[in-house]
Copies of this chain bind each other. A is one copy, B any other.
Amino acid sequence: MTDQRLDRLANVLVDYCCAVKPGMWVGILGDVIALPALRAVYREVLCYGGNPTLFISDEWMERTFIREATDEQIAWLDPSQTLYYEQADIYIRVGATSNTRAMTNISAERTQKVRAARRPWLDTRLRRAAEGSFEWVATWYPTEASAQEANMSLEEYEDFVYSAMFCDRDDPAGEWRKLSAMQQKKVDWLKGKRQVRLQGPHIDLELSIAGRTFVNSDGHKNMPSGEIFTGPVEDSVNGWVRFDYPSIVSGRAVSGIELKFERGQVVSARAESNEDLLHAQLNTDAGARYLGEFAIGTNFGINRFTGNILFDEKIGGTIHMAIGKGYPETGSRNDSAVHWDMICDMRRDSAIYVDGELFYQNGEFVI
């Protein structure tokens, strides 16, 4: 017997997120440590009539590749995977790790080089998704390592993960549809609006969303999701924010980040720990000093910080912003090598005004 919540997750991924139909070519991607989840998804894909291809990877091999591969080996793109990205219908990735710190001592430059070589696969996936000929979703499978990173036991962490995905409830897809409908109303209301002002104990900031689009992130691409996000007008951001949760970069936490913006640009930046990393991020390129994303987390199934951005940025009652690259579909023009999310708690004495109207108060929409 597998965990019933895992079976529900498999169903959500296959049905709600990707709408697998008979005859579709479905890639199932993940590390060997995610095997129970990969099995559940595999069976569900079969059950929906899909044709599954397994891409089971292994962290040890990936690290070995990053450390030892020659330039020729890095440049080589597996033609069978290229074919998959070009012709398949669905992509379901189950993230998982047996050691959240295993990459700590691996050269970031080498990692980046391998990632860059595989960029055509990412580009093909995103291009075909934008064209509507490819569906993709990425989720997360709880392991001891992730539980440890989150300061929990495995059983506590499993509760956390499945609650975030609504898979602790009888009808997770129904819950996601409800969340989606709620978010869509906010997105619709925000259409045509111009000015956002954020106030609270840790924030006093304004930014323009004029001409920009909010996206309803309702779990179709990330499971869990639960946020609406846009890209603010690049030079419109003014004010001050102190982020409540640490932001992680390459496995290292930068906590107590405080940023001051003038005409969009970060003009002052401090952090309580690893401040050098913060400055390194900001100095990466021109775009890294400007916001690429402004978002409101709406997932009240996520009630604590765990150091995994897939979950953290969706915490119900928080907002987050990312310095660096924005999402083109929002209208953002920020192109940067950086996209780094920072999270601010809005559950106490906080408010968001849109064009002067109270839109959000103490973690809840009021429109």
Binary contact readout A16-55 vs B (1 if CB under 8 angstroms, 0 otherwise): 0000001101000000100100110011001101010111
Confirm or deny: A56 has a beta carbon within 8 angstroms of a beta carbon on chain B.
yes
Known contacts A32-B35, A80-B83, A64 near B46 by CB under 8 Å: yes
Task: For the complex, give the distance between the alpha carbons of A56 and B42 in Å.
Answer: 14
Confirm or deny: A58 has a beta carbon within 8 angstroms of a beta carbon on chain B.
yes
| Contact across chains for A43 and B56 when beta carbons are under 8 A apart | no
User: In the complex, which of the residues B22, B53, B56, B58 contacts A58, with contact meaning CB atoms closer than 8 Å?
Assistant: B56
Task: For the complex, give the distance between the alpha carbons of A22 and B81 in Å.
Answer: 20
| Contact across chains for A72 and B49 when beta carbons are under 8 A apart | yes
| Contact across chains for A69 and B46 when beta carbons are under 8 A apart | yes
| Contact across chains for A23 and B72 when beta carbons are under 8 A apart | yes
We find that the number of chain A residues with CB closer than 8 angstroms to chain B is 36
Confirm or deny: A79 has a beta carbon within 8 angstroms of a beta carbon on chain B.
yes
Chain B: which residue is nearest A76 at the CB level? B51
Confirm or deny: A189 has a beta carbon within 8 angstroms of a beta carbon on chain B.
no
Task: For the complex, give the distance between the alpha carbons of A38 and B59 in Å.
Answer: 12
Confirm or deny: A123 has a beta carbon within 8 angstroms of a beta carbon on chain B.
no
Known contacts A39-B61, A46-B69, A64-B42, A54 near B56 by CB under 8 Å: yes
Chain B: which residue is nearest A56 at the CB level? B56
Confirm or deny: A68 has a beta carbon within 8 angstroms of a beta carbon on chain B.
yes
| Contact across chains for B68 and A49 when beta carbons are under 8 A apart | no
Confirm or deny: A121 has a beta carbon within 8 angstroms of a beta carbon on chain B.
no
Q: Which residues of B contact A84 (CB under 8 A)?
A: 79-80
Chain B: which residue is nearest A81 at the CB level? B80
| Contact across chains for A70 and B49 when beta carbons are under 8 A apart | yes
Confirm or deny: A283 has a beta carbon within 8 angstroms of a beta carbon on chain B.
no
Q: Closest CB-CB distance, A21 to chain B, in whole Å?
A: 12
Task: For the complex, give the distance between the alpha carbons of A87 and B79 in Å.
Answer: 9
Q: Closest CB-CB distance, A83 to chain B, in whole Å?
A: 5
| Contact across chains for A78 and B53 when beta carbons are under 8 A apart | yes
Task: For the complex, give the distance between the alpha carbons of A39 and B70 in Å.
Answer: 18
Q: Which residues of B contact A87 (CB under 8 A)?
A: 79
Task: For the complex, give the distance between the alpha carbons of A163 and B55 in Å.
Answer: 33
Task: For the complex, give the distance between the alpha carbons of A73 and B61 in Å.
Answer: 31
- Which residues of chain A from 107 to 164 have a CB within 8 Å of any chain B CB? none
Known: A51-B73, A80-B80. 18 other contacts (CB 8 A): A23-B72, A23-B76, A32-B32, A32-B35, A32-B56, A39-B60, A39-B61, A39-B64, A42-B58, A43-B64, A46-B69, A49-B72, A53-B78, A53-B81, A56-B58, A79-B83, A79-B84, A80-B81
Enumerate chain A interface residues (CB-CB to B < 8 A): 22-23, 25, 32, 35, 38-39, 42-43, 46-47, 49, 51, 53-58, 60-61, 64-65, 68-70, 72-73, 76, 78-81, 83-84, 87
Q: Can you list 9 contacts pairing A with B, beta carbon distance less than 8 Å?
A: A22-B72, A23-B72, A23-B76, A39-B58, A42-B61, A46-B69, A51-B73, A51-B78, A56-B56
